[in-house]
Amino acid sequence: MLPELSQDEILRYSRHLLIPEVGMEGQRKLKAASVLIVGTGGLGSPVSMYLAAAGVGHLGLVDYDVVDSSNLQRQVIHGTDRVGKLKVDSARQRLADLNPYIQVETYNEVFSSENAWRIGAGYDILVDGSDNFPTRYLLNDLAALTGRPYVYGSIFRFEGQVSVFDARKGACYRCLFPEPPPPGMVPSCAEGGVFGVLPGTIGTLQAAEVIKLILRIGEPLVDKLLLYDALDSTMQTVHLRKNPNCRVCGEHPDITHLIDYEEFCGVPTRDAHAGLAGGDWDIEPREVQRRLQNNDSIQLVDVREPIELQISSIPGAVLVPLTQLPQRLEELDRNKDLVLFCRTGVRSARALRLLAGQGYTRLHNLKGGINAWSEQVDPSIKRY
């Protein structure tokens, strides 16, 4: 039985009630619905805000991070006064102000195969607001194994994607992407950047798909992948097909329970070890400074993209972007200690592993990247 609407709710949702496809019954369906949103960042911000405003009665928010000032360019659910606070708490506070008639539950933890069943229990629809492949495969498999729709969104620089994966009716995410890309092949937004308004466009489209699914109106993006290019202001729709050999929703699936998705994708769900290469590879900024002052045999190698030099640089470093590194190995002096660095140490850790595979032995990863160099050695260098 659908819940009733109070007089205040009727006034609040009156513009919905005037639409024949929604009306009183549809608004009551929204109030009865429950949606889990994994991620309260760029995509999770517009998704959760518009679902809350629309009157979806029960929202679950999953995140493990705190609000950083670099988030505010696109993660509009947070504000300057929330920097340093848990993202789930910041988001819940904003949604409570936006609509006090809904219930918001928060989960301040990494979404993983160990807790996904527990967290996901009781939610009708799963929404992807994440920025990594392990979480996408986890959400897809959880949705497929439990017979629920998974509303997918992805963003990078000026481009975005949206789809509804529902294994009961059509293709799932694994049908489209059976295997994840090799680690390091697809940079994250933190590494490659993102156009600030793009998450708003894609997240709002995701929210529209969720509402359509709840109301059972229109044509959801099942078996369709919508591609958006903000630079060209174009949208294309690619039609998908269910893969009969899909490992989770095919005719003979071999994935019947949640697996280790970090191992499957070869990357962590979060940057728990951001800036670390591990073992004896890591070197502290002050140690590099000391060795440079002692005129030790060191070559600083900047593996960032050229555009990043407009923000900051370390004098004397040679620029060899990670994307060009395999073709420019001759520029690196094997007779010197190579100290690799990027913004925070993530890309340089990948570069180090690549060079180690090519036989280089005198390798170091600048722990924390150029941002750590700014904090510990030279404050005049801009952090970003």
**CA-CA distances (angstroms) from residue 212 to 103, 206, 262?**
20, 10, 32
CA distance linking residue 51 with residue 145, whole number of Å: 25
Distance of CA 15 to the CA centre of its chain: 33
User: Which of 175, 189, 246, 249 is an active site residue?
Assistant: 189
Radius of gyration in angstroms for the set of CA atoms belonging to the chain, rounded to a whole number: 23
**Dihedral angle sign, alpha carbons of residues 181, 213, 116, 41:** positive
| Known catalytic residue at 189 | yes
Distance of CA 336 to the CA centre of its chain: 37
Q: Give the residue among 347, 374, 328 at the shortest CA–CA distance from 192.
A: 347
Q: Give the residue among 336, 361, 191 at the shortest CA–CA distance from 317.
A: 336
Helical (H) or strand (E) element with 51:
helix 44-54
| Known catalytic residue at 175 | no
User: Which of 246, 249, 265, 342 is an active site residue?
Assistant: 342
Tokens of 196: 């600030």
Please state the φ and ψ torsions of residue 280, each to the nearest 5 degrees: -95, 10
The single-letter code of the amino acid at 194 is: V
**CA-CA distances (angstroms) from residue 66 to 71, 87, 90, 91, 259?**
10, 5, 9, 11, 27
CA distance linking residue 88 with residue 92, whole number of Å: 6
**Dihedral angle sign, alpha carbons of residues 85, 88, 93, 98:** positive
CA distance linking residue 327 with residue 354, whole number of Å: 12
DSSP-derived secondary structure for 159-190: EEEEEEE-TTTS--HHHH-SSPPPTTSS--HH
Mind telling me the catalytic residues?
A: 189, 342
